[in-house]
Amino acid sequence: MSAVRHFLDIDQLDAGTLRGILDRGSALKADWRNGERPQLFAGKTLVMIFEKPSTRTRTSFQVGMQQLGGMVVVMNEKESQLGQGETVADTARVLSRYADAIMIRTDAQTKLDDLAAYAGVPVINGLTDESHPCQIMADIMTYEEHRGSIAGRVVAWSGDGNNVANSWIHAAVKLGFTIRLACPDSLQPPADVLARAADEGGDVQIVDSARAAVDGADLVVTDTWVSMGDKNAEMRRQVLLPYQVDAALMAGAKSDALFMHCLPAHRGEEVTDEVMDGPQSVVWDEAENRLHAQKGILSWCLE
Ligand code: CP
Ligand code: NVA
C-alpha cells in the first residue's frame, strides 16, 4: 500500500484495518453522545467532489469534519472545471495543494482510481457505479450495535446487484460473514466481483429467489431499483418486482432479523412502508452511522 491512506474500497483493505476504522468510529460516536468533540481535524480541510446528487454523504461528511474542528469545501462537477474538461489527474494535483483529503462521488471507478493515483493526499470513495464502501462501513457498525459481531451471520440481499451489493460482497469476504443474493438474471453482481470473492474464500451465495435469500437470514438488505445514472427504469421496475421486501418476505428471515436500506428509499417499490417503518427496520440508525463511521475513516486517512 502507498504511504497515502486512500479509502477506495473495502476489498483493498485488510480486516484489521477495517476493524480499526470501525472501532475508531464507535469511540468517536461515544464521545459525540457524551457531548465531547475532540478537535482531531483542526486545521484540516476535506474537499468533496460530487458528480451525482447526495443528501447523506454530503451532510454527514461535512458535519463530521466540522464537529471535529475541520473545514470542508464542496465542489459540484458542473460548477467546477472538472465539468468543463479539466482532467481528473490535473484536478487531483491541484486539490492536493489545498486540501488534506479529497472525497469523490462519481460514476466510473476509473475516475476514482485516477484521482488516487495523482493526488498527494488521501482519497475517499463516496460512491461510484461500482461500489459504496462508506455506506457499508456504517451498515456493519449498525448491525454490530444491535446484534453483536457480524462474523458468521447471514446477510440477505434482494434486488439489483448494484454498487451497494458489491460493497456488501467485499465486506462479507473481509469480515467473515455469508452474503446471499437474489437478483434478476439481467441484474446480477458483476462476474469479476463474484470471481474475486470466490478466489478469496468468501461465502457469497447466489440464489434464485428473494425467499431463498432471506431464509433464516440475520439481516435483510435492499436498495433502489434504479440507481443514479441507470437507464431502462421501466424494465428494471418490472424485473425487480418479485424482489420487493415486504412483511411476508421479512417473515422468511430469522424472527430477530434486521432490515437495512442505504436510502434514499422508494417506498412501494423495493420496500414497503410496513417494513421501512416496522420494528425490524434500523434505517435511521444506519443513516446516522454514516456520520460516525466516516469520522473513523477520516481519522484513519488523516492520521
Ligand atoms: N446512502 C447515501 O449515500 O445517500 P446519499 O445519496 O443521500 O448520499
Ligand atoms: N445504488 C444507489 C445508492 C444510492 C446511495 C445509487 O447508486 O444510486
pLDDT of residue 219: 99
- Asked about 262 being catalytic, the answer comes back as yes
CA of 55, closest atom in ligand 1: 7
Terminal Cα distance for the chain, rounded: 15
Whether 14 shows a pLDDT value over 90: the answer reads yes
Select from 48, 49, 52, 57 the residue to mutate for testing ligand 1; criterion: most ligand atoms less than 8 Å from CB: 57
Q: Which ligand gives the minimal distance to the CA of 223?
A: 2
Q: Which ligand gives the minimal distance to the CA of 166?
A: 2
pLDDT of residue 3: 86
> Taking the CB of residue 82, how many other CB atoms lie within 10 A of it?
21
What amino acid is encoded at 175 in this protein?
L
Whether 230 shows a pLDDT value over 90: the answer reads yes
**Protein residues with CB under 6 Å of any ligand 2 atom:** 127, 162-164, 223-224, 227-228, 262
CA of 229, closest atom in ligand 2: 8
CA–centroid distance for 280 within its chain = 20
pLDDT digits over 144-184, tens only? 999 999 999 999 999 999 999 999 999 999 999 999 999 99
Task: Report the nearest-CA residue for atom 3 of ligand 2.
Answer: 227
pLDDT of residue 1: 47
Mean pLDDT over 56-71 rounds to 98
Counting residues of the chain whose pLDDT is more than 90, the rounded percentage is: 98
Category of 173 on φ-ψ map: left (φ > 0), alpha (ψ -120 to 50) or beta: alpha
Q: Are 139 and 286 in contact (CB under 8 A)?
A: yes
Residue of 5, 105, 170, 261 with catalytic role:
105
The chain-wide mean pLDDT, for the chain, equals 97
pLDDT of residue 2: 52
> Taking the CB of residue 205, how many other CB atoms lie within 10 A of it?
15
Select from 58, 61, 127, 134 the residue to mutate for testing ligand 2; criterion: most ligand atoms less than 8 Å from CB: 127
Torsion of CA 165, 168, 173, 175, to 10 degrees: -170
Mean pLDDT over 124-129 rounds to 98
Q: Is residue 110 helix, strand or coil?
A: helix
